[in-house]
Amino acid sequence: MRLPQELIRTKRDGGEVAPADIAAFVAGLTEGSVTEGQAAAFAMAVFFRGLSLGERVALTRAMTDSGTVLAWDLPGPVLDKHSSGGVGDAVSLALAPMVAACGGYVPMISGRGLGHTGGTLDKLGSIPGYDATPDLDRFRRVTAQVGCAIIGQTADLAPADRRLYAIRDVTGTVESLDLITASILSKKLAAGLDGLVMDVKTGSGAFMARRAQARDLATSIVGVAQGAGLRTVALVTDMDSPLASAAGNAVEVAYTLDYLTGRAREPAFHAVTLALGAEMLVVGGLCADTAEAGARLEAALDSGRATEVFARMVAALGGPTDILERSGHHLPAAPVIRSVPAEADGFVASVATRDLGLAVIGLGGGRTRPQDAIDPAVGLTGLRRAGARIERGQPLATIHARDGDAADRAEAAVRAAYRIDGVAPADMPAILERIAG
């Protein structure tokens, strides 16, 4: 194999790296002969120079093959959804049990927080006892018995991606279209899926802030996935406001429980969740069209079947058996809770959504280094979306903090993130575009 530094230099200078060299580099990353510094340098070279389609496919395949590739024998289709990352994006927590309640099987392999975005794995980590990294036998068993299992990457599944993922998080290379494509698809291909639906975010809280960037990423993922034999559809969705009114870890689990049980169903979150779920049911052959699929998902919510599946998944993976009845007892709560009142009447004209995500990290709800611990209790709730009518004194958000100093910093960040105006902004639809092969 070529020396890692030679491969890095080739890509740094804009050259094409052979598939065999990419495979050898990924193998070295997995076994440890490629250092963290070399992986970071490779990621930065890819960030600036990009990968060709052939290089992208080679990287995805090498990362997929760095560990076990699952095969399933189930009476229904094996389906998954993945988001490119946003703020208040708790969709996976609700959607997996909804699809399972409609006859799909969802072995969802999720990641930690990345950059300013929250990670599904970190959110589930706020549930006491929940085993987010079970062995493969338990993962298979829970998926088969319950219909879904949301876990993190185990040592067996795409281990090269797990290492590179943590390095990207702290080296300013999160937004690389090529690395995002390979990271997402290596995990999904390793999970042995029959169909995948992508939620590609665009706007102030997304990695792909411009819609053209989001379209490029969606097209890249659909193209590479279809080339690998995985039926895939992508939706481009709005992230110019937090999707849910909660951003954090335990606060997003609580939000999910409110959504599933019907205590609160905010329109934008509900629209995105239903649209993604409908595409999953159609891709999996469980419904003829998205209208039929949407009706089935609504029925799964209204009947309580989706809520029951979520509770069974939590219990089967080691969490409390009464998460629905006693969520307030089980989920950690921050000692300092403070509202941030608006200083003027008007409408929320715009939201610097990324800055709200960074505020959560500042509270301790995310990482600045791979080894950092997460504080599961902190976060933001009651977040207003662009277009919301607000009166002076009404809260823009509520801060959940570990201490007063952290709350002070978060309050300043929240105030700076919101712009209030006398004129309402134009409505932005939650679903912006659909891309299929």
DSSP 247: E
Question: Which residues have a catalytic role annotated?
Answer: 80-83, 120, 168, 183, 187-188
379: Cβ contacts below 8 Å, ≥ 6 apart: 246, 247, 248, 249, 250, 251, 252, 334, 360, 363, 365, 400
Q: Is 197 helix (H, G, I), strand (E, B) or coil?
A: strand
Structure tokens given for 388: 């919301």
Tokens 């004209």 -> residue = 349
What is the residue type of 285?
Answer: G
Closest by alpha carbon to 24, among 49, 6, 45? 6
> Which of 425, 298, 416, 397 minimizes the C-alpha distance to 341?
397
Which string of b and e fits 263-277 if b means at least 16 CB within 10 Å?
Answer: eeebebbbbbbbbbb
Half-sphere exposure of 209 (CA within 13 A, CB side): 9
Using only the alpha carbons of the chain, give its radius of gyration. 21
How far is the C-alpha of 28 from the C-alpha of 35, rounded, in Å? 8
What is the C-alpha to C-alpha distance for residues 162 and 374, in angstroms, rounded to an integer?
18
For residues 193 and 27, what is the distance between their CA atoms, to the nearest angstrom? 23
Q: What is the DSSP string of 406-437?
A: HHHHHHHHHHHHEEEESSPPPP--SEEEEEE-
Contact 336, 398 (CB under 8 A): no
Task: Provide the pairing of β-strand 106-110 with 148-152.
Answer: parallel
> In which region does residue 134 sit, left (phi positive, over 0), alpha (psi from -120 to 50) or beta (all else)?
beta
Q: For residue 359, which of 418, 428, 421, 419 has the smallest C-alpha distance?
A: 418
CA distance 366 to 112: 9
